[in-house]
Chain A
């Protein structure tokens, strides 16, 4: 019997983070959508199980809209709270504790931002916050740069997953450092989820082809002309990239090798 083409999900193991398993390797954010309806439909089309949310003050005057849980069911999606907007370890720890108190899970997507223009992480603050939160029983997924040594230190500090960027948050510049991401994946034991910077489906596919365990994206969907169609594209790009990685690509060669035999050519 010949081997038939199998979708990646048939041959792949589920993604395991902090004792939980997930089928989808695509995680999505809930920010910046034009409408809540568009957000809900895009998330549905993405097939994502993990969705990120942020902790903010309730609007006491109700001039703005309701919280995101008004639109997304916490029974249907695994809510991953972030600490976006935090610039110090202390601030990030405070936000993480508030998020956990909401009562859904002890996972946190830890962000400690170090620069307002690039939103690149403050890796020293990130490590300090990671140690504090791990000690406090959190399952920490740390948003970090594409620096291997920082990723190694985050793993040593007890992160359940490390989330290096493809490129800066919201930039849509795609995967700027495939070597860096590949190296982080090769050297770490915990899952590596690329977070931020993916702009379109080919970026997602190329990222997954590096062998990483998953991708988290927000702006690429929210700011697409058609977020729902882009979500569909991203879902398939992540699956395709994962399958291509598992399949193992052919070697790159500097010279051509004919695909058609020379034998049998007319004399």
Chain B
């Protein structure tokens, strides 16, 4: 089992690899229905999370709705 170095929400993180985006969400205990995912600045739609494999150095943004005006 190798390790992947990613930048998730601006912070460097090491996760077990190989991994898909869905694996990453599971690793972070996030429900895929409650987050929107951007991989290297491109949105990855929910149905594709399980088939999108992460690569060393990938930048991932995980966002959701918060309070705002």
Interface residues of A (CB under 8 A from B): 29-33, 39, 52-58, 60, 67-69, 79, 81-82, 84, 94, 97-99, 101-102, 169-170, 196, 216-219
Alpha-carbon distance A97/B11, docked complex (angstroms): 22
Residues of B within 8 A of A29 (CB): 67-69
B28 touches A60 (CB 8 A): yes
Alpha-carbon distance A33/B67, docked complex (angstroms): 9
Alpha-carbon distance A33/B41, docked complex (angstroms): 31
Known A32-B69, A101-B45; further 9 A-B contacts with Cβ < 8 A? A52-B69, A53-B66, A54-B65, A60-B8, A67-B64, A68-B65, A69-B64, A79-B65, A216-B69
Return the chain B residue nearest A59 by Cβ. B9
Residues of B within 8 A of A55 (CB): 36, 63-66
Give the residue of B8, B11, B64 whose beta carbon is less than 8 angstroms from that of A56.
B64
Most buried by A among B9, B41, B45, B65: B65
Contact with A along B1-39 (1 / 0, CB 8 A): 000000011110000000000000000101000111010
| Chain B interface main SS type | strand
B65 touches A102 (CB 8 A): yes
B66 touches A54 (CB 8 A): yes
Residues of A within 8 A of B69 (CB): 29-32, 52, 54, 82, 84, 169-170, 196, 216-219
Return the chain A residue nearest B65 by Cβ. A53
Alpha-carbon distance A58/B11, docked complex (angstroms): 12
B interface bracket (residues with beta carbon within 8 Å of A): 20 to 34
Give the residue of A53, A58, A81, A216 whose beta carbon is less than 8 angstroms from that of B62.
A58
Nearest Cβ on chain B to A131's Cβ, whole angstroms:
20
Alpha-carbon distance A53/B64, docked complex (angstroms): 10
Return the chain B residue nearest A61 by Cβ. B11
Alpha-carbon distance A98/B30, docked complex (angstroms): 17
Residues of B within 8 A of A56 (CB): 63-66
Residues of A within 8 A of B62 (CB): 57-58, 60
Give the residue of A52, A60, A84, A101 whose beta carbon is less than 8 angstroms from that of B43.
A101
Alpha-carbon distance A32/B66, docked complex (angstroms): 11
Write 30 A-B pairs (CB below 8 A) sorted by A numbering: A30-B69, A31-B68, A33-B67, A39-B67, A53-B65, A53-B66, A53-B67, A54-B66, A54-B69, A55-B66, A56-B63, A58-B9, A58-B35, A58-B62, A60-B9, A60-B28, A68-B67, A79-B65, A82-B69, A84-B68, A84-B69, A98-B36, A98-B63, A99-B36, A102-B64, A102-B65, A169-B69, A196-B69, A218-B68, A218-B69
B34 touches A98 (CB 8 A): no
Return the chain B residue nearest A97 by Cβ. B43
A67 touches B10 (CB 8 A): no
Alpha-carbon distance A60/B62, docked complex (angstroms): 9
Return the chain B residue nearest A67 by Cβ. B64
Alpha-carbon distance A217/B64, docked complex (angstroms): 22
Residues of A within 8 A of B65 (CB): 53-56, 67-69, 79, 81, 99, 102
